[in-house]
């Protein structure tokens, strides 16, 4: 018995000549050069895509009343105004305050108000803080001279922080402008992304499913993380204002920011409760303590209700993506992390189900 060895035609094999190698090298060089150009804008484009996804339902609602083009213009102008107006007001206020401070320093007329009487009653640091404030108010020029290096260091830090805030504000405005463009061409961009995912997954249904999952995850994270943080900050803020807490606005804003970065609000609410018990009568302090303690724990039952709502991905997967993405990539990772984990989870579960079906088919096959 002889085995027939199939003969392969050497002419059918692909040949890579010098020209093909040059073409491949030029293609790789083009991809590399394009990536270098795009990399500085990746963060802006990612934020623009997230904003476009979140604002697109508003665009659809406005477009039914004002038209698609007018709707995109309204969203873009309103977003830029809302971003620029607070910064302009803050800059004007700071400029006035800084110019007055410089004038007082030059004329040697800078004064400090006396310390509040309750400062000395603050546990641990109250007495020292009260004495230091009193000495500084009694002789401002000498205090400034003694702490010149510290003041210079603090001033440099504030200037650097202001520069970072201005850069972040500009980046947000640019992201909003790009998001407006994405919104205006939303249908075309959606079709392109759906087609691209269909090509990558080699399945029309799978591509559309992954695109819908990405959009739903971004909306779910915005509702579950930012929404829960806003609700919790509002609940705590009501108590702060009713009890007359000094700096209630700043403390409420701090709770909101900590909620976004997934830091428990109890870290703020418990010290506030302790402060109120030291300052207020027992009955209002007890009512405030119960309200603040419950509101500080409200995220524990709000997150399961709102985070990942309506998704085919379990809530723990989304929560891990939120926390891990935040640690890895900051605020942008808050959205990118859960999207990546959600897509990976869906693909893995689909593959896992396929692997379960194959052995079942093999065992059901009748014996030959």
Compute the distance between CA of residue 338 and CA of residue 333 in angstroms, rounded to an integer.
8
Taking each helix axis from N to C terminus, what angle separates 42-66 and 315-364, rounded to the nearest 10 degrees? 90
CA distance 212 to 310: 12
pLDDT tens digits along 234-247: 999 898 888 888 87
Q: DSSP string of 256-285? A: HHHHHTT--THHHHHHHHHHHHHHS-HHHH
Both 166 and 292 in a single domain? no
Amino acid 219: pLDDT: 82
pLDDT confidence of residue 357:
61
Question: Based on the domain organization, do 242 and 311 belong to the same domain?
Answer: yes
Q: Can you give the length of the chain in residues? A: 368
Sign of CA dihedral 280, 284, 288, 289: positive
Cβ-based neighbour number of residue 186 at 10 Å: 19
Provide the pLDDT confidence category of residue 29 given band limits of 50, 70 and 90: very high
Q: Is residue 222 part of a domain?
A: yes
Do both 173 and 218 map to the same domain?
A: no
Q: What's the burial of 161, exposed, middle or buried (CB within 10 Å: 0-12/13-18/19+)?
A: exposed
Instruction: Say how many domains are in the chain.
Output: 2
Is 237 domain-assigned?
Answer: yes
Asked whether residue 119 is domain-assigned, the answer is: yes
39-46 CB contacts, 8 Å cutoff, 24+ apart: 43/171, 43/332, 44/171, 44/174, 44/175, 44/178, 45/178, 46/332, 46/336
Higher-pLDDT residue of 124 and 256 is 256
Predicted local confidence at residue 366, as pLDDT: 55
Residues 279 and 169 in one domain: no
Assess whether 178 and 206 both reside in one domain: no
Residue 15: band (very low, low, confident or very high) from pLDDT cuts 50, 70, 90: low
Whether the pLDDT of residue 123 is over 90: the answer is no
pLDDT digits (tens, 9 = 90+) for 302-359: 777 777 666 778 888 888 888 888 888 777 787 888 888 888 888 888 888 877 666 6
Q: Are 175 and 212 within one domain? A: no
Do 132 and 212 share a domain, yes or no?
no
The proportion of the chain whose per-residue pLDDT surpasses 70, expressed as a percent, equals 86
Q: Is 9 a member of any domain? A: no
Domain containing 74 equals 42-184
* Across 3-12, 114-123, 276-285, least confident range: 3-12
Residue 73 lies in a domain: yes
The answer on 317 and 229 residing in a single domain is yes
54 contacts: CB under 8 Å, gap ≥ 6: 218, 219, 222
Is the entire prediction scored with pTM above 0.75? no
pLDDT of residue 119 exceeding 70: no
Residue 358: inside a domain: no
Q: Residue 37: pLDDT above 80? A: yes
Of residues 310, 308, 309, 312, the one with CA closest to residue 337: 308
Same-domain pairing of 219 and 172: no
| Separation CA 46–CA 268 (nearest Å) | 32
Q: Is the pLDDT of residue 124 over 70?
A: no
Structure tokens at 110: 């800078």
Contact in structure between 273 and 292 (CB atoms under 8 Å)? yes
148-199 pLDDT, tens digit each: 777 778 778 777 877 777 777 788 888 888 888 888 888 888 888 888 888 8
Q: Evaluate if residue 364 carries a pLDDT over 60.
A: no
What is the reported pLDDT for 192?
86
Whole-angstrom distance, CA of residue 86 vs CA of residue 187 = 33
DSSP state string for 181-222: HHHHTHHHHHHHHHHHHHHHHT-HHHHHHHHHHHHHHHHHHI
Asked whether residue 207 falls in the same domain as residue 297, the answer is yes
Angle in degrees, 0-180, between the axes of helices 148-184 and 68-107, rounded to the nearest 10: 170
Closest CA to 324 of 310, 312, 342, 309: 342
Q: Does 120 share its domain with 78?
A: yes
- Whether residue 116 is found in the same domain as residue 179: yes
Confirm whether 37 is domain-assigned: no
CB atoms within 10 A of CB 174: 15
User: So what's the pLDDT on residue 60?
Assistant: 85
195 located within any domain = no
């Amino acid at each position: 018995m002889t085995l027939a060895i199939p003969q392969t035609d050497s002419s059918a094999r692909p040949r890579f000549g010098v020209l093909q190698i040059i073409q491949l090298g030029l293609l790789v060089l083009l991809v590399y050069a394009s990536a270098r150009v795009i990399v500085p804008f990746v963060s802006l484009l990612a934020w623009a895509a997230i904003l476009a996804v979140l604002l697109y339902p508003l665009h659809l609602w406005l477009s039914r009343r004002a038209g698609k083009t007018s709707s995109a213009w309204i969203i873009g102008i309103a977003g830029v105004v809302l971003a620029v107006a607070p910064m302009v007001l803050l800059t004007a206020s700071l400029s006035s305050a800084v110019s007055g401070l410089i004038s007082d320093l030059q004329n040697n007329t800078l004064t400090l108000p006396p310390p509040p009487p309750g400062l000395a009653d603050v546990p641990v640091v109250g007495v020292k803080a009260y004495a230091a404030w009193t000495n500084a108010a009694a002789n401002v020029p000498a205090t400034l001279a003694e702490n010149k290096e510290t003041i210079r260091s603090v001033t440099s830090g504030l200037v650097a922080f202001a520069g970072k805030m201005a850069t972040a504000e500009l980046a947000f405005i640019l992201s909003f402008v790009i998001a407006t463009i994405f919104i205006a061409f939303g249908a075309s961009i959606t079709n392109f992304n759906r087609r691209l995912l269909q090509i990558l997954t080699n399945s029309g249904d799978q591509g559309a499913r992954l695109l819908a999952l990405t959009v739903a995850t971004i909306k779910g994270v915005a509702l579950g993380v930012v929404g829960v943080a806003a609700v919790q900050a509002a609940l705590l803020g009501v108590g702060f204002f009713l009890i007359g807490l000094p700096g209630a606005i700043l403390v409420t804003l701090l709770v909101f920011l900590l909620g976004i970065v997934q830091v428990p609000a109890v870290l703020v609410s418990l010290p506030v409760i302790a402060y109120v018990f030291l300052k207020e009568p027992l009955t209002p302090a007890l009512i405030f303590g119960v309200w603040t303690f419950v509101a500080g724990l409200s995220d524990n039952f709000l997150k399961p209700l709102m985070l990942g709502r309506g998704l085919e991905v379990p809530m723990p997967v989304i929560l891990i993506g939120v926390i891990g993405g935040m640690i890895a990539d900051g605020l942008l990772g808050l959205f990118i992390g859960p999207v990546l984990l959600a897509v990976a989870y869906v693909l893995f579960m689909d593959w896992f189900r396929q692997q379960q079906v194959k052995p079942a088919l093999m065992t059901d096959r009748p014996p030959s």
